[in-house]
């Protein structure tokens, strides 16, 4: 039996610190990227009561299944239309996913490896980021971890309940982001069966139960696609007309992305053959270097079967798919977390009593932690200096905890390698969630404009000028986006118009007579440039988001 790697008290402290950071992230304003976009699809469901139709600012939306939108809309009904409500379902699934990683590692290895794997997953950069910039990936990753655990548990214990659990996990993953939620756990099971050489499992008739219940669980999503698209061939969604919704969700969806369909921006990242490597280094900080070393050693010993093949096979398969896909983005990386956490955790356990590796792991993790803290220091002192006393107090406390882990004699070097790594990522995201993001997002005009006009302007009277978008404004004003129609000018009623300062000439040429006007600074914060990050040149990069009352028109 393996002795405790860390005391229960230490695990409790580390998970508590991580929990506080995750909780702080629930209240950060939404970005005007996919997060704001997805939040508004759920918002429309909440406002209209239509949970069948996927609809965004361009019209009928086909790209993602319903699960994230359903859970977010349900959360709005309980907590109101807030950042917290949108993020909460993903956070709850992350808790489930972390527990699933613990149970999966326990099935494959032992209890101690399970606890460490859960800690490593929860403290990985991309795992936390998926709960800040909420898209489908937090729920998807949790569903993959849960389904994989259930499949392995069935292999070990042959209980009916694990078949139902596996079907449910696969269905949630599929209903969140399509085939990747189905293929990843099944690939893991396949690699595990190959590792065990238990060929009878390949022909076990009980897998039919998984298939039947999976089909049953995904039927609401498939039926909604049928109602929205198959029954309405006249609809155009993202440039596609007459689409077969059922065929799309069951087959075409994921393959369009892999092939780099022009709907997704064409072959975005196609030429970047090192995408996986350089993206992995930051998305899996502070564990990335150890993960690559451990993976290399596993591949070297693969045929010798020194470690299970499930995590190795899944990580390599997904890495190849992501790296050589014609369309790839960093937020695809969280689905690698369960496999990566297993590999890193077992590597730590296997080297626990090896003096050479104990020292090496300490040096590697200390170096990774220092790099994280250097980046955090630059961002939170130069670019966006800390401006609240309470944040400084929190920073001092976290630094004290970090130095305690580093200097105490109660922990061995390999234990310090783990604890200082968690402390570093906690400190990084504490400052990100309490200082960096709040300051950064104040330059995204949508929320400040909604806050500034709340109680003064009826969102039902607000229209957007052509090619003007702000998911944040619509979300924080709890309203649907409406584009200004030329016919509105001739009606003679007053209304409000949102446009950018760079569009002033276009708006002026329309001949409006304006009354009261609101203006806020605006910048596309998802595309940061040095001139914006530098406080000395930031104001030169800013646009303005303007809301003007139209009281008449010049004829």
Tell whether the torsion through CA atoms of 161, 166, 169 and 171 is positive or negative: negative
Can you tell me whether residue 179 is helix, strand or coil? Answer: coil
Extract the tokens encoding 418: 């783990």
pLDDT of residue 1: 58
pLDDT of residue 2: 65
Q: In angstroms, rounded to a whole number, what is the distance separating the alpha carbons of residues 368 and 14? A: 18
- Is 507 a member of any domain? yes
Of the candidates 555, 445, 441, 554, which has an alpha carbon nearest to the alpha carbon of residue 498? Answer: 445
- Is 336 a member of any domain? no
Extract the tokens encoding 445: 């005009």
pLDDT-derived band at 257 (thresholds 50, 70, 90) equals low
- Is 299 a member of any domain? no
Single out the residue in 380, 409, 441 at which a domain terminates: 441
Residues 286-302 have a mean pLDDT of 96
Q: In angstroms, rounded to a whole number, what is the distance separating the alpha carbons of residues 31 and 28? A: 9
Q: Are strands 59-60 and 543-553 parallel, antiparallel or unpaired?
A: unpaired
**Same-domain status, 249 and 120:** yes
Q: The domain that contains 520 carries what CATH number?
A: 3.30.110
Q: What is the mean pLDDT of the chain?
A: 93
pLDDT at 553 over 80: no
Condensed to tens digits (0 to 9), the pLDDT of residues 79-88 reads 999 999 999 9
pLDDT of residue 234: 86
Instruction: Give the CA angle between residues 61, 63, 64 to the nearest 5°.
Output: 100
**Same-domain status, 191 and 240:** yes
Single out the residue in 239, 264, 289 at which a domain terminates: 264
Q: In angstroms, rounded to a whole number, what is the distance separating the alpha carbons of residues 313 and 319? A: 10
- Is 321 a member of any domain? no
Please give the tally of structural domains in the chain. 3
Tokens 């591949």 belong to 299
**Same-domain status, 161 and 226:** yes
Work out the angle between the directed axes of helices 137-157 and 83-108 (0-180°, nearest 10). Answer: 30
The alpha carbon torsion through 403, 406, 407, 409 (nearest 10 deg) reads 140
- Is 283 a member of any domain? no
Instruction: Give the CA angle between residues 299, 155, 142 to the nearest 5°.
Output: 70
pLDDT of residue 261: 56
- Is 317 a member of any domain? no
Of the candidates 122, 104, 130, which has an alpha carbon nearest to the alpha carbon of residue 346? Answer: 104
Condensed to tens digits (0 to 9), the pLDDT of residues 125-160 reads 999 999 999 999 999 999 999 999 999 999 999 999
Q: In angstroms, rounded to a whole number, what is the distance separating the alpha carbons of residues 114 and 342? A: 8
Q: In angstroms, rounded to a whole number, what is the distance separating the alpha carbons of residues 449 and 474? A: 10
pLDDT at 304 over 80: yes
Residues 51-76 have a mean pLDDT of 94
pLDDT of residue 266: 47
- Is 21 a member of any domain? no
pLDDT-derived band at 4 (thresholds 50, 70, 90) equals confident
Condensed to tens digits (0 to 9), the pLDDT of residues 162-216 reads 999 999 999 999 999 999 999 999 999 999 999 999 999 999 999 999 999 999 9
**Same-domain status, 461 and 417:** no
Q: How far apart are the first and last CA of the chain?
A: 86
**Same-domain status, 255 and 110:** yes
Condensed to tens digits (0 to 9), the pLDDT of residues 327-381 reads 677 878 999 999 999 999 999 999 999 999 999 999 999 999 999 999 999 999 9
Which residue range is the domain that position 170 belongs to? 31-264
Q: Are strands 543-553 and 512-522 parallel, antiparallel or unpaired?
A: antiparallel
Exposed/middle/buried for 37, CB within 10 Å: 0-12, 13-18, 19+?
buried
Of the candidates 434, 444, 478, which has an alpha carbon nearest to the alpha carbon of residue 460? Answer: 478
HEC per residue, 484-540: CCCHHHHHCCCEEEEEEHHHHHHHHHCCEEEEEEEEEEECCCCCCCHHHHCCCCHHH
Kindly write down the DSSP assignment for every residue of 58-108, as one continuous string. Answer: TEE--SS-SHHHHHHHHHHHHH-SSHHHHHHHHHHHHHHHHHHHHHHHHHH
pLDDT-derived band at 555 (thresholds 50, 70, 90) equals low
State the greatest distance between any 2 C-alpha atoms of the chain, in Å, as a whole number: 86
**Same-domain status, 428 and 468:** no
The conformation of residue 2, written as its DSSP 8-state character, comes to: P
How much is the pTM?
0.95
Condensed to tens digits (0 to 9), the pLDDT of residues 395-423 reads 999 999 999 999 999 999 999 999 999 99
pLDDT at 268 over 70: no
**Same-domain status, 527 and 504:** yes
**Same-domain status, 483 and 502:** yes
Q: In angstroms, rounded to a whole number, what is the distance separating the alpha carbons of residues 339 and 187? A: 12
pLDDT of residue 486: 82
**Same-domain status, 152 and 183:** yes
Instruction: Give the CA angle between residues 93, 68, 164 to the nearest 5°.
Output: 60
**Same-domain status, 471 and 509:** yes
pLDDT at 312 over 50: yes
Residues 219-243 have a mean pLDDT of 88
Tell whether the torsion through CA atoms of 242, 248, 251 and 256 is positive or negative: positive
**Same-domain status, 382 and 455:** no
Q: In angstroms, rounded to a whole number, what is the distance separating the alpha carbons of residues 337 and 468? A: 37
Single out the residue in 247, 264, 281 at which a domain terminates: 264
Over pLDDT 90: what percentage of the chain? 81
Phi, psi (degrees; rounded to nearest 5) at 422: -65, -40
Condensed to tens digits (0 to 9), the pLDDT of residues 496-534 reads 999 999 899 999 888 888 999 999 999 999 889 999 999
- Is 349 a member of any domain? no
Residues 341, 118 contacting (CB under 8 angstroms): yes
**Same-domain status, 379 and 490:** no
């Amino acid at each position: 039996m393996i002795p405790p790697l860390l005391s229960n008290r230490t695990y409790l402290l580390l998970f508590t610190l991580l929990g506080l950071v995750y909780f702080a992230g629930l209240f950060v304003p939404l970005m005007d990227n996919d997060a704001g976009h997805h939040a508004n699809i759920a918002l429309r469901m909440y406002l209209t009561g239509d949970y069948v139709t996927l609809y965004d600012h361009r019209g009928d939306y086909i790209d993602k299944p319903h699960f994230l939108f359903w859970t977010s809309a349900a959360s709005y009904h309980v907590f109101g239309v807030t950042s917290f409500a949108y993020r909460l379902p993903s956070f709850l699934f992350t808790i489930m996913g972390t527990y699933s990683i613990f149970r999966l590692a326990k099935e494959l290895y032992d209890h101690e490896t399970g606890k460490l794997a859960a800690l490593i997953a929860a403290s990985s950069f991309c795992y936390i980021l998926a709960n800040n910039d909420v898209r489908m990936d937090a729920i998807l990753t949790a569903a993959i971890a849960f389904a994989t655990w259930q499949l392995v548990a069935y292999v070990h214990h042959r209980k009916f309940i694990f078949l139902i659990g596996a079907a449910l996990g696969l269905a949630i993953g599929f209903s969140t982001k399509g085939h990747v939620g189905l293929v990843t756990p099944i690939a893991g099971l396949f690699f595990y069966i190959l590792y065990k050489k238990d060929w009878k499992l390949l022909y076990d008739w009980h897998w039919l139960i998984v298939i039947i219940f999976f089909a049953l669980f995904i039927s609401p999503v498939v039926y909604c696609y049928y109602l929205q698209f198959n029954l309405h061939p006249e609809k155009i969604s993202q440039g596609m007309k007459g689409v077969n919704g059922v065929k799309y969700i069951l087959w075409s969806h994921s393959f369009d992305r892999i092939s780099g369909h022009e709907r997704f921006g064409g072959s975005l990242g196609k030429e970047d053959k090192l995408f996986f490597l350089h993206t992995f280094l930051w998305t899996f900080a502070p564990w990335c270097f150890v993960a690559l070393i451990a993976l290399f050693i596993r591949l070297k010993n693969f045929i010798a079967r020194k470690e299970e093949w499930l995590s190795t096979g899944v990580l390599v398969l997904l890495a190849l798919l992501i790296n050589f896909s014609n369309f790839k983005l960093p937020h695809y990386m969280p689905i690698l977390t369960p496999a990566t956490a297993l590999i890193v955790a077992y590597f730590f356990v296997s080297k626990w009593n090896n003096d050479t590796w104990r020292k090496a792991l300490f040096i590697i993790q200390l170096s990774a932690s220092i790099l994280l803290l250097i980046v955090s220091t630059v961002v939170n002192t130069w670019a966006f200096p800390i401006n609240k006393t309470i944040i400084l107090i929190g920073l001092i406390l976290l630094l004290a905890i970090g130095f305690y882990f580093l200097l105490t004699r109660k922990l061995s070097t390999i234990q310090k390698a783990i604890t200082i790594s968690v402390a570093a990522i906690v400190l990084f995201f504490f400052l990100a969630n309490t200082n960096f993001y709040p300051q950064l997002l104040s330059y995204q005009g949508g929320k400040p404009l909604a806050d500034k006009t709340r109680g003064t302007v009826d969102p039902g009277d607000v229209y957007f000028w052509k090619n003007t978008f702000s998911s944040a404004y619509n979300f924080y004003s709890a309203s649907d986006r409406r584009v200004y129609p030329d016919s509105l000018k001739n009606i003679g009623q007053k209304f409000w118009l949102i446009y950018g300062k760079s569009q002033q000439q276009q708006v002026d040429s329309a001949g409006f007579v304006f009354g009261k006007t609101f203006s806020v600074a605006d910048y596309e914060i998802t595309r940061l440039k040095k001139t914006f990050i530098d406080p000395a040149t930031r104001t030169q990069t800013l646009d303005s988001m303007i809301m003007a009352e139209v009281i008449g028109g010049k004829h």
